[in-house]
Structure 1
Amino acid sequence: MDRERRAEGLAHAQRAIAAKQCVVMPTDTVYGIAADAFSAQAVATLLAAKGRGRSMPPPVLIPRLQTMDGLATEIPEAGRRLAEKFWPGPLTLIFHAQPSLTWDLGDTYGTVALRIPDDEVAQSLLTITGPLAVSSANRTGRPAAQTAEDARDQLAESVEVYLDDGVRPVQGSGSEAGVPSTIVDCTGDRLRVVRQGGLSLEALREVVPEILGVGEEPEQAQSEQAEPEQVEPESAVVAEAEGAAAGEQVQGAAAEQPRD
């Protein structure tokens, strides 16, 4: 996309977002369908376009790290370290949402899933629109769109603007074709991966060694990272209780999180 066409496309997309309509935009993982995160009408239109209900709320893409503190609260230090290390990139972090925000993303149980995409067009759009509710640009149950044409074939007239910037992910970007972002729940006592995607558990553990993998119990993580004699029986019991509490929160906060 040349500079002039990109500017025209971004301006058109900005007008559509302001009018509570949906747009399709490239990201660093797959193409996404986007809407104003602060408009319940726009988010409902997005969910309807995908054939998805309120039980699968979309994550929110943001333009810069500082925006995280305006949208989330009780951000754990470990979650902040992951954001600082891997944003922009294929990592979605679930936090407690700021209670003062007047938005309706669906059945979020007081949480919000945030990400900064590592894509120039996406960041340019987010800079002029602010936070956007974004899910993969496909009908639910069908493959995520890797081109704007793929998205158009599935979403058709339910989208006002299609921003076409070639195949996603870009070759050499480090993201695998059709692989969504990794999702980490940061609302429990320990961080937990609830969907494995473009960022590996090993990479996450280089920053947060205690993070739990998908379906992993706390004592399993300890056994992988410590010698047997270093794991006290009492600590294993405490870890098991903490894991159960975290699991309850994951069900509310992160179950059925969409591809992005």
Structure 2
Amino acid sequence: MQTKIFKPSKQDLVEASELIKGGGTLAFPTETVYGLGADATSNIAVAKIYQAKGRPSFNPLIIHCFSIDQIKAFALWSSEAQVAADKFWPGPLTMVLPLLPESNISSLALAGLQTVAVRIPAHPIAQKILKLSNTPIAAPSANPSGTVSATKAEHVVSRLSGKIEGIISGKASKIGLESTIISLLTEASILRFGAIGAAEISDVLGINLKKPEQDEKISAPGQLSSHYAPKGSIRLNSKTIKENEVHLGFGKVKSDLNLSKTENLIEAAANLFDFLHKLDEMGAEKIAVSPIPEKGIGIAINDRLRRAAAPR
């Protein structure tokens, strides 16, 4: 398969959107990470995503839309969803909602569930592709399943060239972490930590979000225990470095790569996936990671690192 690289020009974006309309797969930048998109109403198109990623079929995909009205055509909207959308959309928040019986969303994208994960992204290129395609787009992160999420176009090119139809070249993702996922089903809960903190969402909704149980069934993307993994083994909260370990540091420590020498958690989040890619490029077989504060966006960073360190 020949993968076409598109520039973020008006003409190229129109051409790229035709790939989506024609049932193809297209990688495009969002404010969180690069997404690998396809027409969410087509089982064949969605199957191409799973094929390209080698993705576990029981893990559902996030459906990206350009408006709430578009979402209301296939998902049951609620007052809670409206409050969250007013505050956080467009942006890095995904909401899991009940699926309407008349939904035309691919069952493959839903992994057979009667719920759907939806998001309105803030990135201008993502918004343009959604409007030009005029269809909901299923889009997990643009990387082979179980490997590090892509935050730059070159990450996608190196991992998925020849496996997908198109890639839109753009600047590095601004946030560098996937969206926070909340469930607004019977009981509001957080399913995946991400760019927006659970405390901030709880304040807006006026409720305490339930945290996921360890043995809870998968109902949203990012719930597989080992989902963000470089090739090497990872040892977390490492204050000393063992022989033959490559050190991913944080703060004023001597290290091979440092997420943030100034202990800035926002900077650390933005660097996280890029540095995990670099560790792969370095051929790191054993990786020691400095302690990361368990506060603010540091909670999401640690969540990603724990998943990366999980047995696989």
* TM-score, reference length from structure 1: 0.77
Q: Which has the higher contact order (CA 8 A, sep 6+)?
A: 1
Matches within 5 A, 1:40-189: 40-73=43-76, 75-102=77-104, 103-104=106-107, 105-129=109-133, 130-169=135-174, 175=175, 177=176, 179-188=177-186
Which one of the candidate residues 6, 9, 30 is aligned to 1:6? Answer: 9
2:61 aligns to what SS in structure 1?
Answer: coil
Q: What are the Cα deviations for residues 15-73 of structure 1, in whole angstroms up to 9, with x where unaligned? A: 21122110010001011100000110000000111111320121100001222211201
Aligned residues of 1:72 and 1:95 also touching (Cα < 8 A): yes
Shift of the alpha carbon at 1:116? 0.6
Distance 1:145 1:37 in 2: 21
Task: State the 4+ residue runs in structure 1 displaced beyond 6 angstroms.
Answer: none
Which one of the candidate residues 195, 205, 217 is aligned to 1:251? Answer: 217
Distance 2:172 2:36 in 1: 15
1:17 aligns to what SS in structure 2?
Answer: helix
Distance 1:16 1:43 in 2: 13
Give the letter aligned to residue 118 of structure 2. L
Give the CA RMSD over aligned residues: 2.2
Percent identity over paired residues: 29
Aligned residues of 2:182 and 2:189 also touching (Cα < 8 A): yes
Distance 2:163 2:14 in 1: 19
* TM-score, reference length from structure 2: 0.65
Q: What are the Cα deviations for residues 120-164 of structure 1, in whole angstroms up to 9, with x where unaligned? A: 000001011121000100111111111111011111112111111
1:81 aligns to what SS in structure 2?
Answer: helix
Aligned residues of 2:143 and 2:156 also touching (Cα < 8 A): yes
* Equivalences, count: 216
Distance 2:68 2:113 in 1: 23
- Quote the residue 1:191 is aligned against: 188
Matches within 5 A, 1:188-227: 188=186, 190-215=187-212
* Higher helix fraction (1 or 2): 1
Give the unaligned 5+ runs of structure 2: 1-6, 228-312
Shift of the alpha carbon at 1:211? 3.3
Give the unaligned 5+ runs of structure 1: 170-174, 217-246
